[in-house]
Amino acid sequence: MKILVIGGGGREHALVWKMAQSPLVDKIYCAPGNPGIAALAECVDLAVDDLDGLLSFATARQIDLTVVGPELPLTLGIVDQFEAAGRLIFGPSKLAAQLEGSKAFCKDIMAKYGVPTAAYGTFSERDDAVAFINKLGAPIVVKADGLAAGKGVVVARDIAEAIAAVDHIMLDKAFGAAGEKVVVEEFLNGEEASFLAFTDGERVLPLASSQDHKPVFDNDQGPNTGGMGAYSPAPVVTAALYDEIVETVIKPVVRGMAAEGCTYRGVLYAGLMIDDGKIGVLEFNARFGDPEAQPLLSRLKSDLVPVLMACARGDLSGQVLEWHEQAAVCVVMASGGYPGDFAKGLPISGLDAAAKIDELMVFHAGTTERDGQVVNQGGRVLGVTGRGATVAAAIAKAYEGVHAISWEGAHYRTDIGAKALRL
Ligand code: AMP
Ligand code: GLY
């Protein structure tokens, strides 16, 4: 069969790498892809938001399954458009993707279906948001309602910072229409974890636990990024908590979405805060996490393709997921200056040496090719992913890879996975 993967980051490289191992697959296309993906798939020069172009391509090539990586095409309705044309596609519909596309919608679903989450208010008037902030007190969290590339959330230490965040979103319109509404919510303490589950709209098939590292510097210092590294499994999610998350978070949301008339099919990603065994949901995403997909797919033993097809067709019954016992750790190597401005086009060395290391995969994220040389192009450049018998061994393997690779200004956290060793 023929597969089309939409996206060109580390998550999509991991998806292509995993599906390329499936005996069901003859050919993979990836739009737009990247130089790492090009070793496994044919890259197609189409942007992720070119919905008409992508559908024309899938139709012309008779693609059997399209797999959507990032949130933007989902919130634009790519799944609705493909399904209307009779093409099988993995991901939630436009209505269902509102779970990620609107934080206000997401909070309302959680409140209505009893999912544990922080107390909140949603506001379309600046003064009402300020009054609520004054009532709740600090620390407090201010979020732009719509998609803001991970930059629309401010965890404010005091009331002045929270009000400044509201003004930045609503008056300065820093995120455009994504900031027409704000969600203001109670600050939750604890340790974060990511929990992903496949769903056909009714049944759920949870993945292994994982943990992201959002702040740019070691010890969770500095501004938030898209994620500087991830590992799986995450010991903060104990076996008992794992079951509790499925029962109190994943199933109620899947049932709630169906009851609301926006049945959710695809992979549902819950961003969680775990405080002394107590679960709080921070957000839902309508897709695989990036970089969580890299360690998760590295550990997945089962063929991914039948599971994605079953979700897309709306019948997951009989599907199971088997996992390698090994742990996996992904360390993101980023451009100097990220998450701020950075220089592009710098040649990356050591990729050949890293490719020779056993139990190591270097997933490309923000790379491009110039005159036959791989250079940096995006903020997050590579997801260097190691496997090992324990998290400690996987950490050592990932950093062995990182130390083999370099370019001018490259930076990375040196403590990815360290939280798993403390538990
Ligand atoms: P979100 O996009 O909603 O997941 O928020 C981005 C990041 O902000 C999260 O990964 C957390 O680190 C932090 N955050 C969001 N909401 C809260 C909250 N209610 N309490 C504490 N931290 C939060
Ligand atoms: N790693 C966070 C995300 O994918 O949203």
What percentage of the chain's residues is helix, strand, coil (to nearest 5)?
Answer: 35, 30, 40
- For residue 81, being part of any structural domain is answered with yes
How far is 256 from 249, CA to CA, in rounded Å?
A: 11
- Full domain range(s) for residue 134: 125-180
User: Looking at the structure, do residues 361 and 306 belong to the same domain, yes or no?
Assistant: no
Please report the pLDDT score of residue 423 as a whole number: 63
Peptide bond just before 92 cis, omega within 30 deg: no
Ligand 2 atom closest to the Cα of residue 212 is 1
**Average pLDDT per 10 consecutive residues for the chain, totaling 423 residues:** 98 98 98 98 98 98 98 97 98 98 97 97 96 96 90 92 96 94 96 97 98 96 93 97 98 98 98 97 97 98 98 97 97 97 98 98 98 97 98 98 98 97 79
Residue 333 near residue 384, CB atoms below 8 Å:
yes
User: Looking at the structure, do residues 174 and 196 belong to the same domain, yes or no?
Assistant: no
Please report the pLDDT score of residue 150 as a whole number: 74
User: Looking at the structure, do residues 198 and 173 belong to the same domain, yes or no?
Assistant: no
155 CB near ligand 1 (under 6 Å): yes
User: Looking at the structure, do residues 199 and 298 belong to the same domain, yes or no?
Assistant: yes
How far is 211 from 233, CA to CA, in rounded Å?
A: 8
How far is 189 from 280, CA to CA, in rounded Å?
A: 9
Nearest CA owner, ligand 2 atom 5:
289
Look up residue 17 and give its DSSP letter. Answer: H
Cα(134) to centroid of ligand 2, in Å?
31
290 CB near ligand 2 (under 6 Å): yes
Nearest CA owner, ligand 1 atom 11:
282
- For residue 109, being part of any structural domain is answered with no
Ligand 2, residues 225, 228, 269: which to mutate, most atoms within 8 A of Cβ? 269
Q: Which string of DSSP letters, residue by residue, matches 208-234?
A: --BEE--EEEGGGEEEE-S-SEEEES-
290 CB near ligand 1 (under 6 Å): no
Give 340-383 pLDDT, tens digit per residue: 999 999 999 999 999 999 999 999 999 999 999 999 999 999 99
CATH number of 363's domain: 3.90.600.10
User: Looking at the structure, do residues 168 and 199 belong to the same domain, yes or no?
Assistant: no
Ligand 2, residues 71, 285, 287, 288: which to mutate, most atoms within 8 A of Cβ? 285
- For residue 167, being part of any structural domain is answered with yes
Ligand 1 atom closest to the Cα of residue 188 is 20
Domain boundary among 134, 151, 180: 180
**Most distant pair of Cα atoms in the chain: their distance:** 59
Give 259-278 pLDDT, tens digit per residue: 999 999 999 999 999 999 99
Ligand at shortest distance from the CA of 186: 1
30 CB near ligand 1 (under 6 Å): no
Query: Which of 354, 376, 359 has its CA nearest to residue 367?
Result: 376
289 CB near ligand 2 (under 6 Å): yes
Task: Quote the number of domains for the chain.
Answer: 4
- For residue 97, being part of any structural domain is answered with no
- For residue 308, being part of any structural domain is answered with yes
Nearest CA owner, ligand 1 atom 9:
282
- For residue 111, being part of any structural domain is answered with no
Give 105-148 pLDDT, tens digit per residue: 999 999 999 999 999 999 999 999 999 999 999 999 999 999 98
Residue 329 near residue 229, CB atoms below 8 Å:
yes
Cα(153) to centroid of ligand 1, in Å?
7
359 CB near ligand 1 (under 6 Å): no
214 CB near ligand 1 (under 6 Å): yes
Ligand 2 atom closest to the Cα of residue 291 is 1
Ligand 1, residues 102, 105, 141: which to mutate, most atoms within 8 A of Cβ? 141
Ligand 1 atom closest to the Cα of residue 189 is 21
Cα(372) to centroid of ligand 2, in Å?
31
Ligand at shortest distance from the CA of 148: 1
- For residue 110, being part of any structural domain is answered with no
7 CB near ligand 2 (under 6 Å): no
Please report the pLDDT score of residue 111 as a whole number: 97
Cα(296) to centroid of ligand 1, in Å?
22
Lay out the sheet containing 360-364: strands in order across: 211-212, 229-232, 327-334, 380-388, 360-364
CATH number of 173's domain: 3.30.1490.20
Please report the pLDDT score of residue 292 as a whole number: 98
How far is 146 from 283, CA to CA, in rounded Å?
A: 12
Look up residue 348 and give its DSSP letter. Answer: P
Domain boundary among 144, 161, 180: 180
